[in-house]
Structure 1
Amino acid sequence: MSNATQLIHSIPVDPQTGSISVPIYQTSTFVQEAPGVNKGYDYARSNNPTRASLEQLVATLEQGETGIAFGSGLAAIDAVIKLLKAGDEILAVDDIYGGAFRLFTHIYEKFGISVRYVDTTNVENVFEAITPQTKLIWLETPTNPTLKISDIAAIAAVAKASGCWLCVDNTFASPALQQPLTLGADIVVHSATKYLGGHSDLIAGVVVTREKELGDKIKFIQNASGAILAPFDSWLVIRGIETLHLRVRQHSANALEVARYLEQHPQVDKVFYPGLPSHPNHEIAKKQSKAFGGVVSFTLKQNTEDAAVALVTATQLFKLAESLGGVKSLLCHPANMTHKSIPAEKRRAAGVADSLIRLSVGLEEVEDLINDLDQALTKLNNKTTQPVKQKELVV
């Protein structure tokens, strides 16, 4: 049986009514038969049947043991970091999501958890950077926003030999394309806001662990800290997951065509998309992923912030907005938006140039999306090639 078929039929039918849709249990508490005697639920922060269905579903998706759903992707990341203590160190991918950088640097460093950033596309960099204090290796693959690819299995072997946990942010690929736990990772996190939800109508996060013991620790943190996902939002994610494989397949197909178009455009400098043979990590991406996802980034030959802003405000179908993974195509300027919290010198050193633009390629007809980018690039070209009028000399 294929993964897509198995997934659809792992969403339970309600045993009480036969409802083919998971019911939304919109309740804060549950009546008990006697103190401590209940039907498996006592208080909705600790557990909720709708959320429990989602958590089991995402565990199945990632082929993990335990799923835990949170109120946002950053809440999910926060719960993982709470496994650590003062004096511990995180070894993180250098091209990291700005929100994760902000959380690591401005929240947890003051509690004595240090973070070092390395280029994880080279496994030797990871091996050489590990110290006795390193307790967690943090990967994004593909990374946000330059779409670097790291060898999950190779880094998992390094983590295991060094007594570290390996956590992979699998948001960009989604479990429809890659399953890091099957490659040796210990923890997977998702911003379920993105491809799992898929419709730009919710905020959610998910953690999945390979081992139950580790999952129980994060489940305890979820209950103790309280950053849970509400029943209705849990239902929305379940509904999104029902079409995940179909959506991601088309996102990937559209993104590949857009990347090929951009690669040959004279206004474009570099295109970042792991599905292109020109991508430096193309072979690793082919090895560990079924396709290459719906995100494409590129830089302009006019490597300026002004040029990037001019382009992102000239598109019509690509809407200027943060986030990604929805049905409608979006674009953003990371230096001014998603990665603004990272100091400019660190951002540029990781490859996030001032002119870099990130596309979330949606499910529109790909010819329409290419035409939209083409007209925006033409406007940019016309704007920069117009002759400058000389000011009249005033005598």
Structure 2
Amino acid sequence: MAQSDWKPATLAAQAAGAVDPQSGAVVPPIQPSTTFARDRDYELVNPDNTYLRYHNDAVRVAEKVLCGLERAADSLVFPSGMAAIAAVMRTVPNGGRVLLQSGIYWGTTKWVRAFCARREIVLEEVEASDTGALRAACEAGPVSLVFVETPSNPWLRTVDIAAAADLAHAAGAALVVDSTAATPILSHPLALGADIVMHSATKAINGHTDVLGGVLSCRTPGALWDEIRDDRDGAGAVMGPFEAWLLVRGMRTLPLRVERMCQTAQALAEYLDDHPGVAAVLYPGLPSHPGHDLAARQMTGGFGYLLSVLVKGGREDALRVAGRLNLFHRATSLGGVESLVEHRHTIEPHTGIPENLLRLSIGIEDAGDLRADLGQALGQ
């Protein structure tokens, strides 16, 4: 069977076939050297390696796994998700026009606003889950880049990726999709027409809350992709060997972890949706969710591990529930094997986020234990 025919679980578990050819070890090695030797004729001992900023064996393994999972033409890893976003944004020329989905991860919005202001780039924030609103923005004039996030964090809104791609391309723009909350296991934006898909690999792709990382994958290499690659290598936005090795180790269980996390998230969303202490649950796996039908069409194997809950009452009621949880760690981030709860209004009070919203990142613990913990915290 050709490696291109491997299913995601096989590709991940086998680390895309990576082994150590020198020792025969089935675990890829870590090579920490920052520079590589030449022989007496000044030829490279290994033609693939000159200097760590450009050449990193562990990074190449991680990129091969991600490329296969994403069904991409090429993938590049970065030292953080924001570094990956920055690499994309730096391709926008001064005076260009960017359409950014509103209500997405606040760190992205904050950085993109500041970057566009410095570069005199026209930035328009649009609710991209409303295809009509996105169409109007795209038809208003030439666009350099359209950036969306689906499912979005923390609102869990769903964007029609195929429609967004058509609209972006008609406006002369590339479409970039942040698919962190979906992972390459549940969604393949490139197959739906996106030009670049981005992930914060810090989250579920690594899955163990011990590595910062980001990744970009492209549908078709070209001038835009070459510019991103050259910028990453030249500016030094590279991942170190140890972090890349940990990332590969984490990815070997990615399909298993995502399957379990999605099953539990779905069960908890249904439980919370009927709970008297909950005003609303934001999760695309619920039939009542406005983006449910669309998510069902463009996601396979589940609806993700992230959900948001509106506790009945206000800020103090939400904080009381968060404070009573015993299994959910009160911490930021998402996608790890351990479940987390975050009061987003404390993090971004200026964005209009409801004061009674709790964001839950569901891990791989026993679903019954998590349900019992939420029940006692909600008072029932």
TM-score normalized by structure 2? 0.94
Deviation (angstroms), 1:140: 0.5
Alignment of 1:153-232 (within 5 A): 153-213=162-222, 214-232=224-242
**Quick one: structure 1 residues 36 and 218, their matched pair in 2 at CA, closer, same or farther if it must change by over 3 Å?**
farther
- Deviates further, 33-42 or 167-176: 33-42
Q: What's the counterpart of residue 68 of structure 1? A: 76
Q: For the residues of structure 2 that align with 1:221 and 1:312, how far apart are their CA atoms?
A: 42
SS in structure 2 of the partner of residue 59 of structure 1: helix
SS in structure 1 of the partner of residue 62 of structure 2: helix
Q: For the residues of structure 2 that align with 1:362 and 1:372, how far apart are their CA atoms?
A: 14
Alignment of 1:85 with 2:96, yes or no, is no
> Which structure 1 residue ranges, 5 or more long, are not aligned?
380-395
Alignment of 1:262 with 2:263, yes or no, is no
Q: What's the counterpart of residue 18 of structure 1? A: 24
Q: For the residues of structure 2 that align with 1:155 and 1:90, how far apart are their CA atoms?
A: 14
Q: For the residues of structure 1 that align with 2:246 and 2:11, how far apart are their CA atoms?
A: 20
Q: For the residues of structure 1 that align with 2:164 and 2:111, how far apart are their CA atoms?
A: 23
Q: Residue 142 of structure 2 contacts residue 172 of structure 2 at CA under 8 Å; is this kept in 1?
A: no
Q: Residue 329 of structure 1 contacts residue 362 of structure 1 at CA under 8 Å; is this kept in 2?
A: yes
Q: What's the counterpart of residue 390 of structure 1? A: none
SS in structure 2 of the partner of residue 212 of structure 1: coil
Q: Partner amino acid for 1:193?
A: T
Q: Partner amino acid for 1:279?
A: H
Deviation (angstroms), 1:17: 2.5
Q: Partner amino acid for 1:297?
A: S
Q: Residue 73 of structure 1 contacts residue 191 of structure 1 at CA under 8 Å; is this kept in 2?
A: yes
Alignment of 1:304-315 (within 5 A): 304-315=314-325
In structure 1, which of residues 136, 141, 164 is the aligned counterpart of residue 150 of structure 2? 141
For the aligned residue pairs, the C-alpha RMSD in angstroms reads 1.5
Q: What's the counterpart of residue 39 of structure 1? A: 47
Q: What's the counterpart of residue 106 of structure 2? A: 98
In structure 2, which of residues 288, 291, 295 is the aligned counterpart of residue 285 of structure 1? 295
Q: What's the counterpart of residue 116 of structure 1? A: 124
Q: For the residues of structure 2 that align with 1:89 and 1:35, how far apart are their CA atoms?
A: 47
SS in structure 2 of the partner of residue 335 of structure 1: helix
Q: Residue 178 of structure 2 contacts residue 199 of structure 2 at CA under 8 Å; is this kept in 1?
A: yes
Q: Residue 65 of structure 1 contacts residue 215 of structure 1 at CA under 8 Å; is this kept in 2?
A: no
> Which structure 2 residue ranges, 5 or more long, are not aligned?
1-5
SS in structure 2 of the partner of residue 285 of structure 1: helix
Deviation (angstroms), 1:2: 2.7
Aligned residues: 369
Deviation (angstroms), 1:11: 3.5
Q: What's the counterpart of residue 372 of structure 2? A: 371
Q: For the residues of structure 2 that align with 1:115 and 1:376, how far apart are their CA atoms?
A: 42
Alignment of 1:357 with 2:358, yes or no, is yes
Q: Partner amino acid for 2:234?
A: A
Q: For the residues of structure 1 that align with 2:42 and 2:195, how far apart are their CA atoms?
A: 37
Deviation (angstroms), 1:225: 1.3
Deviation (angstroms), 1:373: 0.9
Alignment of 1:29 with 2:35, yes or no, is yes
Q: For the residues of structure 1 that align with 2:108 and 2:217, how far apart are their CA atoms?
A: 18
- Which has more radius of gyration? 1
Alignment of 1:261-340 (within 5 A): 261-290=271-300, 291-302=302-313, 304-337=314-347, 339-340=348-349
Q: For the residues of structure 1 that align with 2:248 and 2:172, how far apart are their CA atoms?
A: 35
Q: For the residues of structure 1 that align with 2:290 and 2:31, how far apart are their CA atoms?
A: 48
Deviation (angstroms), 1:179: 0.9
In structure 2, which of residues 13, 19, 36 is the aligned counterpart of residue 8 of structure 1? 13
Q: Residue 32 of structure 1 contacts residue 39 of structure 1 at CA under 8 Å; is this kept in 2?
A: no
SS in structure 1 of the partner of residue 147 of structure 2: strand
Give the share of equivalent positions with the same residue, in percent.
38
